[in-house]
Structure 1
Amino acid sequence: MTVVEDRPATAEAPQPRRVNPLWALLRNSWRQLTSMRTALVLLFLLAVAAIPGSYFPQTSVNRERVSQYYTAHPDLAPWVARLGGFDVFASAWFAAIYLLLFTSLVGCVLPRLRDHARAMASMPPTAPKRLERLPQHAAASTRPEDPATAAASLARTLRRKLFRTRVVKLPDGGFSVAAEKGYLKETGNLLFHFALLAVLIGVGFGHWYGWHGNRLLVTGADQGFCNTITQYDDSALGPRVDAGDLPKFCMRMTDFEATYQSTGQPKSFLASVEVKEGNGTYQPADFTVNDPLRLHHANVHLIGQGYAPILRYTDKYGVSQTKIVPFLPTDAMQTSTGVAQFPDVNIDPKTNQRDPKLQVGFEGVFLPTGSTDGSATSTFPAANNPMLYLAAYRGNLGLDVGKAGSVYALDRGQITNGELKKVSGERPYALKPGQTWTLDDGSKLEFVGTRQFATLSIRYDPTQTMVLAGAVLGLLGLMLSLFVHRRRVWFRVSPAEGPDTGGSVIEAGGLPRTDYPGFAAEFAALTRTDTDGGPPGHAEEGTP
């Protein structure tokens, strides 16, 4: 008979609870953001976003190459700059991916850490009733020991094989031996994710509290520099760093040695410098490309090298000026371009006034090893046959207007509007070290010789050790996650039936918690019985 319950007429049906749509949207968005799938997608996007940083030259690494890119791609370079292509790792879109990935990882890892801690604190469950339904099963075998002794023997054997074991007495007088192994798989997984978080945190704090600067340093005691912002060619300080926070040191390069193979491919570079830290004295030091010079709160990296011709210009009044002018390499053979500008020449000794229309500039190409056919291309990167091809210009160099310009080329606008005129003819003039070029007004330019220069990147990253430790721990966690497998085995030890009391019957089952092709062989080894039909692992106890 069906009973129908009547409700009072005054009773009202419960109204469904209204859900705040904004709260529901935020909750669902958080769940999507903190899912493992989203974290993997963001990690992939971060890797893709880093590709432009490897393809395009970065301002923070080498501003000279960025200038070269503007010269080679005048139409494309402004668009790349607008999209942050020359400063990828400081761009807003890269920071957005970075922060989203950090948030997603935190949301993924913390709940999994809680669940893993609970799993580590809990014991393996007792044996299920139907062991034959498990992926691995071993038929029952009879042993002469009583169930308690057999269960204790099994537990000891499994513990020696690093299984966590649990022995439970059953209502029928038998025992359940449960064992589990492979907790390090999830430990490694969590370790990998925490290491990734450590790397992200380290990179973030390294950006905040770190700094870097690039400096082109020519050999010679007269070409040294000290660690101040004004003496860097370009520099960048972290948001939490002031100019006064920079460590105090001075450096001068005494020698630079470069060796090459017969094909011109570089073999080795060695920079010899003298460094004075704080109020100390100058101390010699050497460093190479892969072995930076490590100072207190600063590392000096060697990232480039080239040649600086020494030019002496004597104006029409007989006044001489000498300049050491770095030329920028343009190919692997150190074919280099550059400019030497002399704005403070041709000063009339009677009036002591400078005529800005009589400024002089020389622009051309330097070849470490010039060819015999006169081509403007070096045949070898070492200075075996230095050649200098120059064109002379006279007029207003455009240096007095305060507009920023390249130090490796003359102002093309001044040449276009006629303020700066070429006075050397159509063909560049060729000079070798020691030779002199006399211009039309009687002034002279002497190619004195060359010095080598090194492009240095001075950096400080306070979280470098943290990032390195995170990378090592991440690799360790990944190895544990890939090569450790979690699995469970159960043994049910029941009293034997029959006239001979004291015996026991053992049945086993196994369940891999993850994909583990080798579990069948491991389970077979654990449940292997001898010719007498003894319990698994009992032979290790010295009993046949």
Structure 2
Amino acid sequence: MAYRPAGLRTMDEAQDMPPQSPAPAGIGVRGWLRWAWRQLTSMRVALLLLMLLALAALPGAFIPQIPQDPAGVATLRADRPQLATWLERAGLLDIYAAPWFAAIYLLLFISLIGCILPRTKAHITALRAAPSRVPRRLTRFPVRDTHTTTATTEEVTRAVRRALGRRFRVAVTPEGISAERGYLRESGNIVFHLALVGVLVALGAAQMIAYRGQAVVVEGRTFANSLVDYDTFTPGSMVTGDDLDPFTFTLTELTSRFTVDAQARDFAARVVVTEPDGRRYEDTIRVNYPITAAGANIYLAGNGFAPHLTVRDAQGQVAFSQPVPFLPEDDFYTSRGVVKVPDVSPGLDQLGFTGYLLPTALAEEDGLRSVHPQPNAPLIVLDVYTGDLGLDQGIPQNVYQLDTDNMTQVMDGAEEVKVLLAPGEEVELPDGLGTISFESLPRFAAIDLRYDPTLPLLLISALAAMAGLSASLFAPRRRLWVKTTQDEAGHTLIEAAALARGDDPGLQRELERVMTAVRATTPTTPEDT
């Protein structure tokens, strides 16, 4: 009889076999959904989404955004209309309101919640559970110690519990003493991630309900919390003009103190605030010390001079008369400013002036310069332009820049005309263009107003994140076991071991501290090891 290995079938036998069952079906829709949920709620995906969110926000630093820079967006549409159209379709002109940015933000939020909830549940279960059982063989642990004493098992147990204190969770079982500490590490980790969720909630809510604006307020003028009084305004996605609380404040005086060598010492803006309920009070805004009105913080972001200039056109009509803020450019408050005079008499060219204000002017061989920021000898130096200011084209302009593309600078032969003005002086412009006079020299305050009710939540979340991160990094996770047995002579044999999660330089000292307390119970026997 020929040998045939077990399980080997001939072709005839294979044909007589019953048909095989079909291959198992796929995991199905529920299986795919369960797999997708597990992937989404993993910490790896949460970190990837956090990185993706940061990358998605980067274009906002290079591309003008509609809420923050409408003038830049208008310029982009005028200069490069096709590119602006594609950017707008992709949501890159208002990134934070784009659907794809909201989707990343929402997925990150869901991912963090999905990561935290199971870990929190498992952590609470571990906190309620008893410490781990005492291992059978403590000799396999590298950090261990033994001791023989005449003390009883009860005395040893009391000594161990006193040494461990409240820092350890202790369980006394027939196998021995089991103690562990370090749950604060996982608690801190969970607090950190919960705080991160709080930060995301605060930032997301701020994008919807917070607003921020900047304005320049001249002494004697009143600022009203309305859209028309802001120079720049950045609203949340749900903020409209009707949502602004109707408070006002009047800048009565702005004072400054400088040393002899022009070092700034103090700036103070004295204001009279009128709350929405009609209550009036005086207050002072200082650098880094804002005031609060109707829940909005008002900061003093800058200051300077706003000389009051009056311009009369060639027909003697007052075409311009108001304070003009000049922006400081150095420590001596050498300030640059622009005067635009569009409202001249019919048939006359519009006027434009650009130049510098020198608070304490000093004439030197190479020209004029300011030697101190206080207005000890103020002087204005202006260049004169005539033509079309470009204000009728519908494109927003920077009030601190003069568009000279359609203007001509006034010349005196081959030299540029320079107009020098001191307080109280009036100067006739060349070519019969009119006159310009320097009426007075008030100061201005650049204020930064921010309304954000989510700031307390953001602060609490940030502090909680720091506390949780510190606990998760520095709280050691340790386990310690002590076993006691009795020998034939009635002595108590003590065997102890300790274990840490990761490298822990203090683990050996922890065990030595416990064993020192044990050795102090009674004198040791000659068999002490």
Specify the TM-score bucket, using the shorter chain as the normaliser.
0.7 to 0.9
Aligned partner of 2:427 in structure 1 is 437
Aligned partner of 1:258 in structure 2 is 256
- Contact 1:158–1:165 (CA<8 Å) still a contact in 2? no
- Contact 2:409–2:416 (CA<8 Å) still a contact in 1? no
Quick one: distance in 2 between partners of 1:533 and 1:97? 66
Q: CA deviation at 1:214?
A: 1.5
Task: Specify the code of the residue in structure 2 equivalent to 1:498.
Answer: E
Which deviations, in whole Å up to 9, do the C-alpha atoms of 1:373-431 show, x marking residues without a partner?
2636544433333221112233443434444222223332321xxxx563666132222
Aligned partner of 2:527 in structure 1 is none
| 2:167 matches 1:162 | yes
| 2:391 matches 1:392 | no
Task: Specify the code of the residue in structure 2 equivalent to 1:282.
Answer: R
Query: In the superposition, relative to structure 1, how do residues 454 and 49 fare at CA in structure 2: closer, same or farther (>3 Å)?
Result: farther
Quick one: distance in 1 between partners of 2:268 and 2:95? 31
Which of the residues 13, 16, 33 maps onto 2:24? 16
Unaligned runs of 5+ in 1: 170-174, 347-353, 536-544
Aligned partner of 2:406 in structure 1 is 414
- Contact 2:269–2:286 (CA<8 Å) still a contact in 1? yes
Which deviations, in whole Å up to 9, do the C-alpha atoms of 1:419-471 show, x marking residues without a partner?
x5636661322222222211232722111232211211211111110001111
Task: Specify the code of the residue in structure 2 equivalent to 1:128.
Answer: P
Quick one: distance in 2 between partners of 1:57 and 1:337? 25
1:165 partner SS: strand
Aligned partner of 1:230 in structure 2 is 228
Quick one: distance in 2 between partners of 1:259 and 1:88? 43
Quick one: distance in 2 between partners of 1:520 and 1:461? 51
Aligned partner of 2:121 in structure 1 is 114
Quick one: distance in 2 between partners of 1:315 and 1:474? 63
1:527 partner SS: helix
Query: In the superposition, relative to structure 1, how do residues 125 and 403 fare at CA in structure 2: closer, same or farther (>3 Å)?
Result: closer
Task: Specify the code of the residue in structure 1 equivalent to 2:519.
Answer: D
Quick one: distance in 2 between partners of 1:452 and 1:58? 32
| 2:474 matches 1:466 | no
- Contact 2:219–2:444 (CA<8 Å) still a contact in 1? yes
Q: CA deviation at 1:532?
A: 7.5
- Contact 1:164–1:181 (CA<8 Å) still a contact in 2? yes
- Contact 1:211–1:238 (CA<8 Å) still a contact in 2? yes
Aligned partner of 2:340 in structure 1 is 341
1:371 partner SS: strand
Determine what percentage of the aligned residue pairs are the same residue: 35
Query: In the superposition, relative to structure 1, how do residues 261 and 12 fare at CA in structure 2: closer, same or farther (>3 Å)?
Result: farther
Aligned partner of 2:179 in structure 1 is 179
Q: CA deviation at 1:106?
A: 2.5
| 2:287 matches 1:289 | yes
Task: Specify the code of the residue in structure 2 equivalent to 1:510.
Answer: A
Query: In the superposition, relative to structure 1, how do residues 108 and 262 fare at CA in structure 2: closer, same or farther (>3 Å)?
Result: farther
Query: In the superposition, relative to structure 1, how do residues 395 and 497 fare at CA in structure 2: closer, same or farther (>3 Å)?
Result: closer
- Contact 1:189–1:480 (CA<8 Å) still a contact in 2? yes
Q: CA deviation at 1:515?
A: 2.9
Query: In the superposition, relative to structure 1, how do residues 406 and 389 fare at CA in structure 2: closer, same or farther (>3 Å)?
Result: same
- Contact 2:276–2:294 (CA<8 Å) still a contact in 1? no
Aligned partner of 1:369 in structure 2 is 360
- Contact 2:250–2:273 (CA<8 Å) still a contact in 1? yes
Task: Specify the code of the residue in structure 2 equivalent to 1:106.
Answer: I
Q: CA deviation at 1:526?
A: 0.8
Task: Specify the code of the residue in structure 2 equivalent to 1:526.
Answer: V
Which of the residues 247, 253, 258 maps onto 1:249? 247
1:525 partner SS: helix
Query: In the superposition, relative to structure 1, how do residues 368 and 51 fare at CA in structure 2: closer, same or farther (>3 Å)?
Result: farther
Unaligned runs of 5+ in 2: 10-15, 525-529
Query: In the superposition, relative to structure 1, how do residues 22 and 520 fare at CA in structure 2: closer, same or farther (>3 Å)?
Result: same
Task: Specify the code of the residue in structure 2 equivalent to 1:485.
Answer: P
- Contact 2:357–2:379 (CA<8 Å) still a contact in 1? yes
| 2:133 matches 1:126 | yes
Q: CA deviation at 1:187?
A: 0.7
- Contact 1:151–1:177 (CA<8 Å) still a contact in 2? no
Quick one: distance in 1 between partners of 2:106 and 2:374? 47
Instruction: Give the aligned CA root-mean-square deviation in angstroms.
Output: 4.0
2:405 partner SS: helix
Q: CA deviation at 1:534?
A: 6.2
Aligned partner of 2:515 in structure 1 is 527
Which of the residues 414, 434, 455 maps onto 2:446? 455
| 2:501 matches 1:513 | yes
Q: CA deviation at 1:29?
A: 5.8
2:119 partner SS: helix
Task: Specify the code of the residue in structure 2 equivalent to 1:427.
Answer: V
- Contact 2:383–2:418 (CA<8 Å) still a contact in 1? yes
- Contact 1:61–1:457 (CA<8 Å) still a contact in 2? no
Which deviations, in whole Å up to 9, do the C-alpha atoms of 1:96-122 show, x marking residues without a partner?
765554344323322221221111111
Quick one: distance in 2 between partners of 1:48 and 1:101? 14
Query: In the superposition, relative to structure 1, how do residues 127 and 532 fare at CA in structure 2: closer, same or farther (>3 Å)?
Result: same
Q: CA deviation at 1:497?
A: 2.9
Aligned partner of 1:485 in structure 2 is 476
TM-score normalised per structure 1:
0.79
- Contact 1:389–1:431 (CA<8 Å) still a contact in 2? yes
| 2:200 matches 1:196 | no
Structure 2 counterparts to residues 58-97 of structure 1, below 5 A: none
Which deviations, in whole Å up to 9, do the C-alpha atoms of 1:172-206 show, x marking residues without a partner?
xxx42111111111111111111111111111111
- Contact 2:389–2:404 (CA<8 Å) still a contact in 1? no
2:130 partner SS: coil
- Contact 1:209–1:241 (CA<8 Å) still a contact in 2? yes
Task: Specify the code of the residue in structure 1 equivalent to 2:435.
Answer: K
Aligned partner of 1:538 in structure 2 is none
| 2:375 matches 1:383 | yes
2:306 partner SS: strand
Which deviations, in whole Å up to 9, do the C-alpha atoms of 1:257-290 show, x marking residues without a partner?
2333555453332111111112425321101121
Quick one: distance in 1 between partners of 2:265 and 2:39? 52
Query: In the superposition, relative to structure 1, how do residues 91 and 252 fare at CA in structure 2: closer, same or farther (>3 Å)?
Result: farther
- Contact 2:159–2:521 (CA<8 Å) still a contact in 1? no
Quick one: distance in 2 between partners of 1:266 and 1:438? 37
Which deviations, in whole Å up to 9, do the C-alpha atoms of 1:226-258 show, x marking residues without a partner?
111122112132222222121110111111123
Aligned partner of 1:207 in structure 2 is 207
TM-score normalised per structure 2:
0.81
Aligned partner of 1:351 in structure 2 is none
Aligned partner of 1:274 in structure 2 is 272
Quick one: distance in 1 between partners of 2:170 and 2:37? 39
Task: Specify the code of the residue in structure 1 equivalent to 2:336.
Answer: T
Query: In the superposition, relative to structure 1, how do residues 112 and 246 fare at CA in structure 2: closer, same or farther (>3 Å)?
Result: same
